[in-house]
Structure 1
């Protein structure tokens, strides 16, 4: 398992009309770990994330998934290969109940997403798996509540459930704690820890306390380049990282 990397980037570069937002980023994400991509504002982490998930085209470089070159592969095809981005791909339907949202996602995996005229009996066959996923993310008691009526944090949990319905091998989370209160942050962090047991997770996250608690490996970007990489215990003591995060409290986590 020492060299078992599910995703690798080589010389990942993105230029916007002469401005280099990401420069020669070499990233290796080890299978069955939680890997965080962090950095101060303007570091290029969101651009890097968008390149890996193919929401932006690369200027230069390569990306491999399980040893397969996906540099020119479309996002939808990458999802079929087992790498799925949450909070972007898995938006919920506000007028459908929590259970119905997950059931639609399960239909999508079966290739029947748009067959809304299918019989209730046929759709009900998906209920058991849908309810299991609601239990997995801790929102089973809201199964019959329209998604639009759920709190922000529980709506994010439901989105993770719809993503898990696609049975991804790798889950990419784009700022999963954004806009959450303390209670929802704690609940979502526990959820991420739970669903990571048999999956790989790559996330961009601003909440350094969450990053410290969850991540096996952290890659720090600054001005589009890798500044440091390692466990939180190492990067939080790195003088260059501390300088980059001056005033952001990178070393303050207990």
Structure 2
């Protein structure tokens, strides 16, 4: 198997006359934490939506595990192991944390919402659900309705429901958005833990998180790759500093 799990070539997306993503070649190494950063309006979210098949590219190709997935539907690429974590909307607010995870585990087995299966099957799901609850630090909250969890714990639950689908490549869209410092540390530790056996690609605004977690960083500006490398090299790159300052966005340091 190649050490590149996800790659794009010439990935481009135009909306009307506006080019949001322009000729992006991306290579994500298997087993790494790869961050996609850039000032506001750089095209990060559009790029992410192309990779997760929510938009079709205007041109260019996407390869996952050496397979051309450019024309595949979101559900198909998810079954292949490329799964994106949705923000909070993915969680059923009235169901407990444990039942939210159980539903995701049932989906993974292809028998979604089949609540009246044998006790034995449900017990096995319960065991796995509790393992995931522990893995994301929600022990003690398993019976709390998801809607009553704090924002940071909802985020942990949402990552757990994504992990229940057992992705090989986990795509995180701004996992720290809206979180306070304490929650950021918790989710950061969680991402590091779950990265042990999978690849992670994340779009993230919080640059100290990017510095702490990422093996490799791709910087986008105006829809194009501006720089790539580890945090130290990209944060010192004059073009990157200028792109951040010129956009009125926060500093790269």
Q: How many corresponding residue pairs? A: 250
Secondary structure at 1:8 match in 2: strand
Residue by residue over 1:77-129, the C-alpha shift from the partner in whole angstroms, topping out at 9 and shown as x without a partner, is 10100000002598111111111111111111111112123355542221111
TM-score after normalising by structure 1: 0.95
Other structure's SS at 1:141 match: coil
For the residue of structure 2 that corresponds to 1:195, the secondary structure is helix
Alignment partner of 2:252 out of 227, 230, 250? 250
Q: Is the 8 A contact 1:171 1:199 kept in 2?
A: yes
Indicate the residue corresponding to 1:206 in structure 2.
Answer: 205
How many Å separate the matches in 2 of 1:118 and 1:129?
16
Q: What RMSD in Å do the two structures reach over aligned CA positions?
A: 1.5
Cα-to-partner distance string for 1:198-219 (whole Å, 9 max, x where unaligned): 1000000000000000000000
Q: Residue by residue, what CA displacement relative to the aligned partner does 1:53-76 show, whole Å, maximum 9, x if unpaired?
A: 111111000000000000000000
Pair 1:88–1:105, CA change in 2 (3 A) = same
Cα distance, 1:236 vs. partner? 0.6
The match for 2:154 is: 155
Q: Judging changes above 3 Å, is the alpha-carbon distance between structure 1 residues 21 and 211 closer, same or farther for their aligned structure 2 residues?
A: same
| 1:157-205 deviation digits (Å, cap 9, x = unpaired) | 0111111111110000000000111111111011001100110000000
- Structure 1, unmatched stretches of 5+, are none
**Contact 1:90–1:162, Cα closer than 8 Å, also in 2:** no
CA-to-aligned-CA distance 1:212-249 (integer Å, 9 cap, x gap): 00000000000000000000010010000011112622
Judging changes above 3 Å, is the alpha-carbon distance between structure 1 residues 143 and 195 closer, same or farther for their aligned structure 2 residues? same
Q: Write the distance in 2 (CA, Å) between the matches of 1:90 and 1:68.
A: 30
Per the alignment, residue 4 of structure 1 pairs with 3
1:188 corresponds to which residue?
A: 187
TM-score for both structures, normalised by structure 2:
0.95
The separation in 1 between residues aligned to 2:121 and 2:20, in whole angstroms, is 49
- Correspondences of 1:162-177 after superposition (within 5 Å): 162-177=161-176
The answer to whether the 8 Å contact 2:87/2:155 transfers is no
- Secondary structure at the counterpart of residue 96 of structure 1: coil
Q: How far, CA to CA, are the matches of 1:146 and 1:124 in structure 2?
A: 20
User: Does the Cα contact within 8 Å between 2:36 and 2:44 map onto a contact in 1?
Assistant: yes
Stretch moving more, 179-188 or 85-94: 85-94
* Runs of 4+ deviating beyond 2 Å: 116-122
Rounded to whole Å, the distance in 2 between the matches of 1:124 and 1:94 is 23
**8 A contact 1:90–1:163 mirrored in 2:** no
* Cα distance in 2 for residues equivalent to 1:201 and 1:141: 27
Whether the 8 Å CA contact 2:87–2:158 is kept in 1: the answer is no
Matched with 1:223 is: 222
What is residue 58 of structure 1 aligned with on the other side?
57
